[in-house]
Structure 1
Amino acid sequence: MASKLLDRLRRTLFKEGEHPTDADGTDDCPESSELDDDTDYVSARLGGTLCFEGDAVLDSEDAGEASGPDSDSDFFGESLDNPCSSTDISPTSPTLKGSNMLTRQLQESWRSLRPRCASEKLIFEVTDASVVHETNSKYVLYTIHIIQSASFDKTPGVITRRYTDFERLHSRLRRRYGDEMEGVYFPRKKLRKNFAAETIAKRSRAFEQYLSHLHSLHELRVAPTFLEFFYLSDLRAGQMLLRVGHYQEAVGTLLNALRLQEKLGCQQLLHHQPVQKAHWLFTLGALVSCFQDLEQPTEAQEHCDRALQDLAPSPDTLKQQPPPPQVHPLLVPLLQANVRLSWKICKDKRCWEALLQDIQELGVDVGCHPNLKEFLIKENLGDSEGDAK
């Protein structure tokens, strides 16, 4: 009864169309419908799929879209006057950049609660996307972090790729693994608004799903073409920096390549895939050479030791081969480097000296081998498709 009287009193006091204002200012709060609309927009913006459907799209194989050589620009020549910056189009909230969400206590608690049998997998996360302008082209460059799940991965691998890089990967995989690629869809280009923030955000999500889908299929996960997509460009860049003597820059590039190979499980494929073995040993050998020139013998010896663990044969294995035995071209340079480095840091080097002596006694001329840097500079870093740069 009291509520009915109060309602009647309100209608009497306020004219039609007016609404009472609460003293606490609750009238400034948005309506629920506004919140719903905003949520729907965010969901639509970030909920990309692997394949964009619609009448205004082109297949990725269509070459008529480019506005210039090697371009990812809009088919109708989208204006270059208002390029998007990386902060404008980043699929992650700018307020989260640089923030440390996990404290040490939270990390330890999470580790203790996590089931020990949790299977580790890779997470592919597009953390930034920026529009790049070149002389005759315009394209979007995606920054992707490769993170090991089921653990706190504080050193993710990082790659930057553009649409045409993904397109090339997809074409190669379809050519070599047609059956496995049957159910894998690739995000297609649009006729318009390729550089709009919403399009880039959706495509970022689509690339995350695309890489996750490929990695979930065992045949594709261990495919050389898939593995080389991540690390080979860093190896080639590291080799170029090594050639010109920029050792500190080369170390950063090569360490990222090593992290990527570790996360992708390349070390477990050394006995089955010769190309991946050559790339793995090149990475470690190049790090040894760079750390040597940077006067960091401890780091150089650690990577040299690691390479020899995967490369050095046992004395019994050497004796089973016809003289002179077939040894990997990196074996002697790495052994010689490891003996010198171990001596510098006062570490036991007798096992490597003994192996080097055994190789020499079996008829291998260790004096005619090029040194480590000479071998690395001349190495031809080809891929599984037979291409080399």
Structure 2
Amino acid sequence: MASKLFDRLRRTIFKEGAQSSETNGTDDFPESSELEDDTDCVSARLSGTLCFEGDGVLESEDTGDASGPDSDSDFFGESLDNACSSTDASPMGPSPKSSNMITRQLQENWRSSRTRSVPEKLIFEVTDASVVHETNSKYVLYTIHVIHSGMFDKTPAVITRRYTEFERLHSRLRRHHGDDMEGVYLPRKKLRKNFVAETIAKRSRAFEQYLSHLYSLPELRTTPTFLEFFYLGDLRAGQMLMRVGRYEESLGSFLNALRLQEKLGCHQLLHQNHFQRVHWFFTLSALVSCFQDLEQLSEAQEHCDRALQDLAPSQEAFQQHQLHPLLIPLLQSNVRLSWKISKDKRRWEALLQEIQDQGIDIGNQPNLKELLIKESIEDSEGAGRAKSKCEDTL
């Protein structure tokens, strides 16, 4: 749409310039190459939210032109075209008639979009790319927001990843899901100019499209390898912080891990995927423990209740004493928390009493924090598919 508008403006200006040159004997019309350059300028001005930090980004041979167009993602193609049509960055602003037409079209599109249901999907947007200098290495760290589309997302989740982590993900997916990875490509490494702003911007857009492509394939978006790429780092970081008593910092990691698992639909895979089940209950239990230590009792009870809704055993599992190790500590925590905040605790008290009547010593169980600190958070690639400690039966 933007290119058509520029072509129309170019032809109109050319006619006016030709008439002016015939009457005045001079040609003041700019060369077409200048218009093309200005079109590029419009694209650059309409760039996304990506920003660059770090001295390494300034290593471009021409720092004035290093940034380049900033957003060529397929998700925003149509909106960028509309934005280009109404921008005032062109050599000559659009006529009032064309501006009114564009405004009317936008209003009609907005009204129609409100009447039809917008399918919900995930958007992966690189919002920052920072050059990190370490003792013996230098790399670019990409910050990626994971956002629900089709609605206002109040709780976007964030990950930070470097190229080698994307490369590891790609390698694992190709090794275990080679047939499904046909046509999925990762941007290649470059021998030079890896820290130039233009390279970083292009690679950022490529990472967005790469993750979007993977997520669009049902066979890949539910695999443990793909899911763990997003949240497993937060779980491990949160556990390390919890071990040294830094509960407020660990709380942030666990909350981000929970948001990521929710957006990726991990809670819908509890009965299909062993590791998703382990990681989901670990996340909820860790949040209970952190909120308790920070004296945020209502939040602790809310997450405790959420975990117990899925952990409550079936009658058959109950009779065979096949109880999840986190069940009793969570029940005990929920009863205490519910009593403190004056919430109904009779359901969980009854279940706890029923477990005790089955001959299980509920008083000789490790508490919730002890279980979480000792737990080894394995991924689907490690431990030879061995069961987690939190999946052993009592």
What is the TM-score when the length of structure 1 is the normalising length? 0.75
Q: Which secondary structure does the structure 2 equivalent of 1:83 belong to?
A: helix
Separation of aligned partners in 1, 2:57 and 2:20? 55
- The aligned counterpart of 2:157 is 157
Separation of aligned partners in 1, 2:324 and 2:19? 96
Cα distance 1:348–1:222, how it changes in 2: closer, same or farther (>3 A)? Answer: same
Deviation per CA, 1:349-369, whole angstroms, max 9, x where unpaired? 000000011111112221221
1:183, distance to aligned residue in structure 2 (A): 1.6
Deviation per CA, 1:10-47, whole angstroms, max 9, x where unpaired? 44xxxxx786xxxxxxx9xx766424224347769999
Separation of aligned partners in 1, 2:22 and 2:162? 66
Contact (CA 8 Å) 2:304, 2:330: kept in 1 or not?
Answer: yes
Separation of aligned partners in 2, 1:230 and 1:126? 14
- The aligned counterpart of 2:74 is none
Separation of aligned partners in 1, 2:111 and 2:310? 31
Does residue 312 of structure 2 align to residue 339 of structure 1? Answer: no
Cα distance 1:91–1:342, how it changes in 2: closer, same or farther (>3 A)? Answer: farther
Separation of aligned partners in 2, 1:216 and 1:233? 23
- The aligned counterpart of 1:367 is 363
- The aligned counterpart of 1:215 is 215
**5 Å matches for 1:118-197?**
118-197=118-197
Structure 2: which 5+ residue stretches go unaligned? 1-17, 48-53, 59-65, 72-105, 385-394
Contact (CA 8 Å) 2:55, 2:131: kept in 1 or not?
Answer: no
Cα distance 1:18–1:232, how it changes in 2: closer, same or farther (>3 A)? Answer: closer
Q: Which secondary structure does the structure 2 equivalent of 1:289 belong to?
A: helix
Cα distance 1:254–1:90, how it changes in 2: closer, same or farther (>3 A)? Answer: farther
Cα distance 1:10–1:216, how it changes in 2: closer, same or farther (>3 A)? Answer: closer
1:141, distance to aligned residue in structure 2 (A): 0.3
Cα distance 1:6–1:384, how it changes in 2: closer, same or farther (>3 A)? Answer: closer
Cα distance 1:243–1:178, how it changes in 2: closer, same or farther (>3 A)? Answer: same
Separation of aligned partners in 1, 2:193 and 2:67? 13
Separation of aligned partners in 2, 1:358 and 1:246? 36
Deviation per CA, 1:181-234, whole angstroms, max 9, x where unpaired? 122111101121111111111100110111011101111010000000000000
Separation of aligned partners in 2, 1:387 and 1:232? 15
Separation of aligned partners in 1, 2:19 and 2:242? 87
Deviation per CA, 1:128-172, whole angstroms, max 9, x where unpaired? 101000000000000001111111112111000000000000011
Q: When you count helix as a share of all residues, which structure comes out higher?
A: 2
Contact (CA 8 Å) 1:46, 1:201: kept in 2 or not?
Answer: no
**5 Å matches for 1:321-336?**
321-322=319-320, 325-336=321-332
RMSD between superposed Cα atoms in Å: 3.1
Contact (CA 8 Å) 2:132, 2:140: kept in 1 or not?
Answer: yes
Q: Which secondary structure does the structure 1 equivalent of 2:145 belong to?
A: strand
Contact (CA 8 Å) 2:297, 2:337: kept in 1 or not?
Answer: yes
Contact (CA 8 Å) 1:91, 1:127: kept in 2 or not?
Answer: no
1:84, distance to aligned residue in structure 2 (A): 1.8
Q: Which secondary structure does the structure 2 equivalent of 1:337 belong to?
A: helix
Cα distance 1:165–1:279, how it changes in 2: closer, same or farther (>3 A)? Answer: same
Contact (CA 8 Å) 1:301, 1:338: kept in 2 or not?
Answer: yes
Deviation per CA, 1:97-145, whole angstroms, max 9, x where unpaired? xxxxxxxxx9xx9699445643211111111101000000000000001
Cα distance 1:278–1:90, how it changes in 2: closer, same or farther (>3 A)? Answer: farther
**5 Å matches for 1:56-75?**
none
**5 Å matches for 1:76-115?**
83-84=56-57, 113-114=113-114
Structure 1: which 5+ residue stretches go unaligned? 12-16, 20-26, 48-80, 94-105
Greater mean alpha carbon deviation, residues 335-344 or residues 243-252: 243-252
Deviation per CA, 1:215-274, whole angstroms, max 9, x where unpaired? 011110100000000000000000011111111111111111000000000000001111
Does residue 255 of structure 2 align to residue 255 of structure 1? Answer: yes
**5 Å matches for 1:10-21?**
10-11=24-25
What is the TM-score when the length of structure 2 is the normalising length? 0.74
Higher RCO, 1 or 2 (CA under 8 Å, sep at least 6)? 1
Does residue 375 of structure 2 align to residue 379 of structure 1? Answer: yes
Contact (CA 8 Å) 2:44, 2:69: kept in 1 or not?
Answer: no
Cα distance 1:387–1:112, how it changes in 2: closer, same or farther (>3 A)? Answer: farther
Q: Which secondary structure does the structure 2 equivalent of 1:123 belong to?
A: strand
The one-letter code of the counterpart of 2:293 is D
The one-letter code of the counterpart of 1:364 is I
Across the two proteins, how many residue pairs are aligned to each other?
318
Cα distance 1:385–1:113, how it changes in 2: closer, same or farther (>3 A)? Answer: same
Q: Which secondary structure does the structure 2 equivalent of 1:358 belong to?
A: helix
Does residue 346 of structure 2 align to residue 350 of structure 1? Answer: yes
Separation of aligned partners in 1, 2:111 and 2:369? 42
Separation of aligned partners in 2, 1:144 and 1:288? 27
Separation of aligned partners in 2, 1:371 and 1:272? 28
Contact (CA 8 Å) 2:133, 2:139: kept in 1 or not?
Answer: yes
